[in-house]
């Protein structure tokens, strides 16, 4: 059919042209909302509906146009044809360029290995989904046809099972959806990015998918996990089983699936061979990351790495140094490289032209409803054909009563145009039946032929009755769908490619780096400088170099594997290890902690603690007279987190913070001079870090806790005057004879 000729645009009048020239460059004010509605919204809707988001048949418009073109070209059977020929024909339906169409074909091809069940049977170089650099050949070199599974995509498409619509120029018709006989929406991976929304659908095993759909049709409350164990990726790998995440995906359509690479160890060559990788990465990305870690010194166990991918499949070879444990190294690689990654799921599908995020259960229910409509339309189409045929045969049966009369009517009719009318009058049949009788060849006007044809009448009546029963009974419609799914399962099912690993940790554990352990002295100054000095170095030179006006606040003996905690005035704690700091000397300033650990601007350290294990307590004294006792275990994390928020309560200004391995006494002094000795054993410990604590010192009006220090007996001569049996307490004002030798520590 030739394309319609378009009328040439009417020539512009000279006055209009003059007006345009006069107004050229003039800025016209327009509300931003109007600009968005008229310019941006149509584009956004076009991307969402016509490009990036798949529909319930599992295809985006570009996929559907390509596959339908190949179907109309007769590529469901027969030999392959050049891909360039297919691309050219598809451009009649798809208004995009040939490069975009060919790239779509590449993704659907068997050679690319991007799909669990490819729709295009390819020949030639179609690249590889797992490789960034392995490019596909030009379309003039490759060949393709439809894969056999496409029989299930186009079955009964000519029986009015789906609606057809005009192509972009109105010269052809194309299907709005394909009447897929299986839930293809969940069979193959489908990822798209639209405007302000995206879609990411993971693939599932065909046999498990068919079994789940059948079970769901029989029992709406069916537990999907019993039949749909987990996704199945074309690249294989191991799926780390997480029941909570899978249930979330099945119910909401959102969640993440952790996929781990598969490897084996060649003992004779001391070499690791990675043969399957997660679907979210490529061979080149993995190698680049490993090389980066080796160069930075974080992977010292690797001697060499090579890409040995060939015609037999993917392979990354990693040569190990002598004595390296391969399994232990792989666990490290899983933590630090894309050899283990999470695929994020977002089941966003167009339903009736509107994007909806649905779980696997709801998606299957929507597909069943869609397929029910397809089956009903097919049965209704066949029913009408059967009724038409029965109607014709009933007219033919009347001829059986008197064949000679029919011949006589035809012979005696003078004009050909009156034959049908005379047959209608002579036998009492309608125009359609008379037209059918009039077209019978002379050789067929015998009793044997007519009897054979009219014998079909009874069987047709039975078939029509059965079809009408199907249309009136949803169970029978579902029975047809179930039988089709069972047939498809037998034809195309294949074993799982992705194995499932059960009893895995729900989160990645990052163990401590294996650093040497030896005694060290730790020093921390008021200005935020930190030094780690070995005993040998300290014996050689013990004179500490400090910044002008700085002083050492804390010094202690510890080890190189000690945990360091720096509490700041913004209620945060920064965690590190002693081995993260270089050994230094007393004659240098040391490391500036805020810069080393990446503090926020203006953040200041209020307390430093070094622990071997998370035992003991953190004590926080507030200006309002309260104190909070937090168990040290509250700051321990399974993952190696560097910063924790809400390290202590920020509702009251802090008067002092201390790490206390065991309960002891603290001396508090208020702004009015009152002094109180508090034993920490009287304060109940809490597990919540941001607890507001309990009142320990009763303050006069406008008074605040000014100073808090660990109590030593040399500070006060009559310490019993400042102790109390119950908290809170007001304390006492020291007399001159009460002041001890170390009372100057409070000033």
Query: Which positions are annotated as active-site residues?
Result: 141
Name the one residue in this structure whose structure tokens are 């994020």.
344
476 vs 482: CA distance, rounded Å: 10
40 vs 37: CA distance, rounded Å: 6
Can you count the helices (H) and strands (E) in the chain?
20, 32
Q: CB within 8 A of 518, min separation 6: which ones?
A: 534, 559, 560
178 vs 370: CA distance, rounded Å: 10
Q: Which of 210, 276, 688, 226 is nearest to 492 (CA)?
A: 210
Q: Which runs of consecutive H residues, i.e. helices, occur in 258-337?
A: 283-295, 326-336
352 to 57, 167, 194, 366, 728: CA distances (angstroms): 12, 19, 17, 11, 68
CB 108 within 8 A of CB 66: yes
Spatial strand order of the sheet with 529-533 comes to: 552-559, 519-525, 529-533, 591-592
Look up residue 544 and give its two tokens. Answer: 């500490």
Look up residue 394 and give its two tokens. Answer: 């009933």
Report, in this order, helix, strand and coil percent for the chain, each rounded to 5: 35, 20, 40
307 to 111, 273, 275, 289, 374: CA distances (angstroms): 19, 10, 11, 13, 48
Q: Which of 233, 232, 239, 243 is nearest to 260 (CA)?
A: 239
């Amino acid at each position: 059919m030739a394309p319609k000729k378009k009328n040439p645009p009417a020539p512009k009048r000279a006055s209009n042209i003059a007006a345009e020239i006069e107004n050229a460059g003039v800025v016209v004010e327009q509300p931003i909302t109007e600009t968005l509605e008229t310019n941006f919204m149509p584009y956004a809707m076009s991307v969402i509906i016509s490009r990036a988001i798949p529909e319930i048949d599992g295809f985006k418009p570009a996929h559907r146009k390509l596959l339908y073109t190949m179907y109309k070209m007769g590529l469901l059977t027969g030999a392959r044809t050049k891909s360039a020929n297919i691309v050219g024909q598809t451009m009649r339906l798809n208004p995009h360029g040939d490069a975009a169409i060919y790239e779509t074909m590449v993704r659907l091809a068997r050679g690319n290995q991007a799909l669990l069940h490819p729709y295009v049977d390819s020949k030639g170089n179609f690249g590889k989904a797992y490789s960034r650099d392995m490019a596909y050949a030009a379309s003039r070199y490759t060949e393709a046809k439809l894969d056999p599974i496409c029989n299930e995509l186009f079955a009964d498409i000519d029986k009015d099972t789906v609606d057809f619509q005009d192509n972009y120029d109105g010269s052809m018709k194309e299907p709005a959806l394909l009447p897929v006989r299986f839930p293809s929406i969940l069979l193959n991976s489908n990822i798209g990015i639209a405007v302000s929304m995206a879609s990411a659908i993971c693939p599932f095993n065909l046999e498990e998918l068919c079994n789940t759909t059948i079970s769901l049709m029989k029992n709406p409350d069916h537990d999907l996990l019993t039949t749909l164990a987990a996704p199945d990726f074309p690249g294989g790998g191991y799926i780390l089983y997480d029941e909570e995440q899978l249930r979330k995906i099945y119910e909401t359509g959102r969640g993440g699936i952790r996929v781990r690479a598969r490897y084996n160890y060649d003992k004779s060559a001391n070499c690791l061979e990675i043969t399957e990788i997660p679907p979210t990465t490529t061979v080149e990305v993995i190698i680049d990351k490993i090389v980066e870690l080796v160069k930075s010194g974080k992977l010292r166990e690797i001697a060499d790495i090579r890409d040995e991918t060939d015609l037999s499949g993917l392979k990354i070879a990693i040569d190990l140094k002598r004595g390296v444990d391969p399994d232990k190294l792989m666990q490290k690689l899983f933590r630090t490289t894309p050899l283990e990654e999470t695929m994020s799921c977002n089941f966003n599908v167009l339903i009736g032209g509107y994007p909806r995020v649905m779980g696997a259960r709801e998606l299957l229910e929507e597909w069943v409803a869609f397929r029910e409509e397809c089956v009903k339309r097919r049965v209704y189409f066949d029913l009408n054909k059967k009724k038409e045929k029965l109607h014709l045969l009933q007219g033919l049966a009347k001829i059986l009563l008197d064949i000679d009369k029919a011949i006589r009517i035809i012979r005696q009719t003078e004009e050909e145009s009156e034959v049908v009318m005379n047959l209608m009058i002579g036998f009492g049949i309608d125009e359609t039946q008379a037209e059918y009788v009039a077209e019978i060849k002379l050789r067929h006007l015998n009793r044997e032929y007519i009897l054979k044809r009219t014998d079909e009448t009874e069987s047709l009546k039975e078939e029509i009755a059965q079809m009408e029963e199907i249309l009136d009974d949803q169970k029978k419609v579902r029975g047809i769908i179930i039988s089709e799914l069972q047939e498809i399962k037998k034809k195309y099912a294949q074993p799982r490619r992705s194995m499932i690993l059960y009893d895995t940790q729900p989160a990645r554990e990052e163990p401590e780096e294996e650093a040497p352990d030896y005694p060290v002295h730790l020093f921390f100054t008021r200005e935020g400088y930190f030094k780690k000095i070995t005993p040998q170095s300290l014996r050689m030179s013990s004179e500490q170099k400090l910044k002008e006006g700085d002083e050492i606040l804390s010094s202690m003996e510890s080890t190189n594997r000690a945990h360091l905690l720096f509490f700041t005035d913004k209620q945060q704690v920064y965690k590190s290890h002693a081995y993260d700091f270089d050994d230094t000397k007393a004659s240098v300033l040391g490391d500036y902690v805020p810069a080393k650990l990446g503090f926020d601007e203006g953040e200041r350290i209020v307390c430093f603690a070094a622990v071997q294990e998370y035992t003991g307590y953190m004590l926080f004294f507030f200006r309002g007279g309260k104190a909070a006792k937090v168990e040290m275990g509250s700051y321990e994390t399974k993952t190696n987190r560097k910063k924790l928020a809400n390290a202590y309560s920020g509702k009251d200004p802090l008067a002092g913070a201390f790490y206390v391995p065991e309960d002891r006494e603290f001396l508090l002094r208020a702004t009015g001079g009152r002094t109180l000795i508090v034993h920490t054993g009287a304060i109940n410990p809490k597990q919540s870090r941001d607890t507001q604590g309990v009142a320990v010192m009763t303050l006069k009006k406008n008074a605040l806790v000014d100073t808090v220090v660990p109590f030593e007996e040399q500070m006060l001569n009559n310490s019993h005057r400042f102790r109390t049996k119950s908290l809170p307490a007001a304390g006492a004002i020291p007399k001159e004879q009460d002041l001890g030798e170390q009372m100057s520590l409070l000033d």
